[in-house]
Structure 1
Amino acid sequence: MTITFITGANKGLGFETARRLIGLGHTVVIGARDAGRGQAAADELGARFVRIDVADDASVAAAAADVAAHEGRVDVLINNAGIIGRRAPAEELTGDDAIEVFQTNVVGIIRVTNAFLPLLRRSERPAIVNVSSGTGSFTLTHDPDRVESKVIGPLYTSSKSAVTMLTMQYAKALPGIRVNAADPGYTATDLNGHSGTQTVTEGTDAIVTLATEDADAGTGRFIDRFGPMPW
């Protein structure tokens, strides 16, 4: 039995990832900031809900304690929670705007990973999957043939560059735990007003791959649904 904890799992990519992994036999714990929406999602999927606000130390610690008391371990941690932040021209962005985005998208991963490491270390084949983005790839954002090069969003894109590097550093620093990053691609979700060209199922292909692959598949990788991604 594989026990998987997913942050930001009440809708979009997180919800679809949970649905697919449950179908593959995982015991999934739904993590979400909004208790009502999180519980509704868990009820719909047949999962257990644990409230977690990845931007709050006390909330993350309480969530880890809850999982420790009920499941006892975590085999796969999926850091999916993320926000776009305030939509404004670059010249109007403020330090507070940056703090809000990085607090969830980057610091949230650090906070959750730190709190859940004891639970992961109880697993025989622990894995961490961080949901990053091709919009954080230096290579893709310089390629005029890629949609990523058309995106202008300084805070979100730079936060996702940080997520990918954070993934690589954790992969080096945490031997025995597979730590990889997934790019969902341009997927129709609330984050982009459902303008994405991929379905939410296609958008979760890389996440599901990293969550279900063999223990010797490798660590410190960045992939999308088609394979390895450029940095």
Structure 2
Amino acid sequence: MTKILITGANKGLGYEAARQLIAAGHTVWIGSRDAERGQRAAAELGTRAVQLDVTDDASVAAAVETLTAAGGLDVLVNNAGIQAEMAADGTVLGAADLTADMMRETFDTNVFGTVRVLHAFLPLLERSAAPVVVNVSSGLASLAWATDPGNHAHGYPGVAYPASKTAVNMLTIQYAKAYPGIRINSVEPGYTKTALNGHHGHQTVEEGAEIIVRMAQLGPDGPTGGYFDRSGELPW
């Protein structure tokens, strides 16, 4: 039975991906910064929770110990993320309002947090017979889309969030080259109604989680070092 850890899984896309993967017969760990919320989500789903704050070394190290003691890990889904430049009403702060603090806060979770978790869990993943990493990115990370006036990503005014997800895409490429035995890919769930965007997305969480769930179940012959949405491979 495949053992899966999803960070930031007490709500939204992470929660729904966990629900679908549990339904498919996998063992899923709910990673949550807030231990109580994680336990509550796990109880609802009938699974396990582990306290995991991607911005905290000690928290991540403790999560590694917990999963090691419980039998290891086959799939890591780096889902935890923030969109600090978007207000609750859906308003997005643009380049004129960007501050170094906003960029630092965003990168601390979305980029440094992803690296922190990867660095800590890769030794455990390498013990798996079919290890997989899914990095939850965004269509806003595509430089091709951002520079195409005809694409929806072109109209997004924010800087910190898309820049952080573009960095995540580069992490995907470089880690996939460094670890050819692990299937490592970025995914674009689409504009989904979640707390990340104040529930202004046009997709349901069921639709958004589909690509996460699909890529989490890749076999050893699956693609690696790619960037995908539900329709296929995306341009970087």
TM-score normalised per structure 1: 0.96
Partner of 1:130: 135
Partner of residue 116 from structure 2, selected from 101, 111, 114: 111
Partner of residue 171 from structure 2, selected from 163, 166, 186: 166
1:19 and 1:6 mapped to 2: Cα distance?
A: 11
Partner of residue 192 from structure 1, selected from 197, 200, 214: 197
Q: Percent identity?
A: 57
Partner of 1:84: 83
Give the C-alpha shift of residue 89 in structure 1: 4.1
Partner of 2:67: 67
Partner of 2:89: none
Instruction: State the SS of the aligned residue for 1:217.
Output: coil
Partner of 1:24: 24
Q: Which moved more, 1:139-148 or 1:190-199?
A: 139-148
Partner of 2:44: 44
Give the C-alpha shift of residue 152 in structure 1: 1.3
Partner of 2:146: 141
Q: Which moved more, 1:187-196 or 1:127-136?
A: 187-196
2:121 and 2:201 mapped to 1: Cα distance?
A: 32
Give the C-alpha shift of residue 29 in structure 1: 0.4
2:169 and 2:32 mapped to 1: Cα distance?
A: 22
CA contact (8 A) 2:194 2:201 kept: yes
1:26 and 1:83 mapped to 2: Cα distance?
A: 27
Give the C-alpha shift of residue 175 in structure 1: 2.0
2:80 and 2:31 mapped to 1: Cα distance?
A: 9
Partner of 2:234: 229
Q: Give me the CA root mean square deviation.
A: 1.1
1:158 and 1:118 mapped to 2: Cα distance?
A: 28
Instruction: Output one character per residue of 1:174-226: Cα deviation in whole Å (capped at 9) or x when no partner.
Output: 12111101000111111111111111111111111111122201210100011
CA contact (8 A) 2:85 2:161 kept: no
1:33 and 1:124 mapped to 2: Cα distance?
A: 29
TM-score normalised per structure 2: 0.94
Q: For structure 1, which runs of at least 5 residues remain unmatched after alignment? A: none
